[in-house]
Amino acid sequence: MQYKFLPSFVQRKGRITKSQEHNLLQLSKFEINSCDQIVSEKEDFKKVILEIGFGNGEHISRLAKENQQHLYIGSEVYMSGIGQLLGEITKYNLNNIKIVKGDIRLLLDDLKSPLFDDVVIICPDPWPKLKHHKRRMINLDFFELIHKSINPNGHLFISTDWENYAESIEETIDSFEGFKITNGSIYEGTFLTKFQQRAKKEGRKIHPFALEKIS
């Protein structure tokens, strides 16, 4: 079968600890494989928020603990990160997190109507080498995909710690008419992941982009 998207975000095992591997035994209880599953799950919640590339799950698990009236859908390609998040879900008995394993674009491409109130993308893989820039997630095609998945007046929040990726994202925003820039976001600066803390310690600025769907 021909892959519709450039396969930059295929499932990866990563370096898995024994505890993460043990946690992965619980994945089937929380895994989402279709849009219809999300539609079914969301009935009991006020909002549905998608976090793309949740890493080790620090951000999404914190949000889920603080906002149990919201349903959080997290996507990740690294099984180690999924295993880590499953540990948090079990530890805090969180019933408002579901997980998409692998490339979220495949699921979004199947959407027939808007589904998410917010979409959050914190420091996506920057693919820093020039020859790999084509593998970056944030581009016009991706914006089209995200735009159709967000409810009217819904929000998209993106951050990156790579200067030239920030410039590329700005160009994409300027070229796309379906979002407007807003003054800040509830996802901006309230909590820094370990990855973001390390970036700041190494002297890299975090560039936030807060957007609202307008058409």
Does residue 125 carry a catalytic annotation? yes
Of 122, 102, 144, nearest to 49 by C-alpha is 122
125, 141, 161, 174: which one is catalytic? 125
- What is d(CA 6, CA 127) in angstroms, rounded to the nearest whole number? 13
Hey, what long-range contacts does 180-183 have (CB within 8 A, 24 or more apart)? Answer: 180/211, 180/212, 180/214, 181/209, 181/210, 181/211, 182/155, 182/210, 182/211, 182/212, 183/210
With beta carbons less than 8 A apart as the criterion, state whether 55 and 74 touch.
no
Question: 215: which 2 tokens?
Answer: 């058409």
Helical ranges in the chain per DSSP H = 18-23, 27-30, 35-41, 58-66, 79-92, 104-108, 140-149, 163-175, 194-201
- What is d(CA 22, CA 18) in angstroms, rounded to the nearest whole number? 6
Provide the annotated active-site residues. Answer: 125
